[in-house]
Amino acid sequence: MDQEPIRTRVLDAAEELFYGRGVQSVGMDEIRTASGVSLKRLYQLFPSKGELVQVYLARRDTRWRQALACQVETHEGPEERILAVFDWLHRWFGDPGFRGCGFINSFGELGATTPAVADAARAHKEAFRAYLGGLVAAAGRSEALAGQLALLAEGAMTSAAISGSAEPARQAQAAARVLLGAAAGASVPAGAPAR
């Protein structure tokens, strides 16, 4: 019997519950009920809640980064691609189910006591920063700009979750424009005319 559709049902239910209510407040019995999978089958697929949380985070990381890249790659110019990150964030923040960054949330709940969750959160954030680093390099800007843009995006995620507004993405995008302009001016050799 093919386990993949059942596994997908469990992961879909776990993601909705973990992201919507928090990892610690959701028990395996609730995931069983939401997925319609027997508790025995659930534990065959995921021998512990900790393992289910790890798979949930890995799946969320892959889907989140793919969705971001798909949106950004529809833009041609390197600077437009950087700014498109913030357009994508704005759309995400406006989703009715938006509850902040699942990695920040999970780290806040479990990062101090569950090394696997802390590692997953760090890996996700490092991958996001590396992605921004690639966009920055393609735009011919200094690597330092990637870290600054990542801080803007991360701050926007937290602010949007707390405020319940998508506006922090626009504010972060406006700051990103300023940083891009400043970085362009800084990359002009001494004595050369500004662009």
Say what the pLDDT of residue 141 is.
94
Phi and psi for 187 in degrees, rounded to 5?
Answer: -90, 0
Say what the pLDDT of residue 195 is.
37
Does this model's pTM top 0.85? My answer is yes
Within the chain, what is the greatest distance between any pair of CA atoms? 72
- Is 191 a member of any domain? no
Q: Is there a single domain that holds both residue 105 and residue 129?
A: yes
- Is 194 a member of any domain? no
Would the pLDDT of 192 be above 60? no
Q: Is there a single domain that holds both residue 97 and residue 113?
A: yes
**What's the pLDDT tens digit per position in 78-91?**
999 999 999 999 99
Assign residue 168 the CATH number of its domain: 1.10.357.10
Q: Give the mean pLDDT of the chain.
A: 93
Say what the pLDDT of residue 186 is.
60
* Closest of 142, 155, 147 to residue 131, by C-alpha: 147
Q: Is there a single domain that holds both residue 109 and residue 147?
A: yes
What count of Cα atoms within 13 Å lies in the side-chain half-sphere of residue 23? 24
Q: Which residues contact 190 (CB under 8 A, 6 or more apart)?
A: none
Other Cβ atoms closer than 10 A to 176: 22
**What's the pLDDT tens digit per position in 48-98?**
999 999 999 999 999 999 999 999 999 999 999 999 999 999 999 999 999
Asked if residue 134 lies in contact with residue 81, where contact means CB atoms within 8 angstroms, the answer is: no
Using a pLDDT cut of 90, give the percent of the chain over it: 91
Q: Which residues contact 116 (CB under 8 A, 6 or more apart)?
A: 50, 53, 54
Q: Is there a single domain that holds both residue 26 and residue 86?
A: no
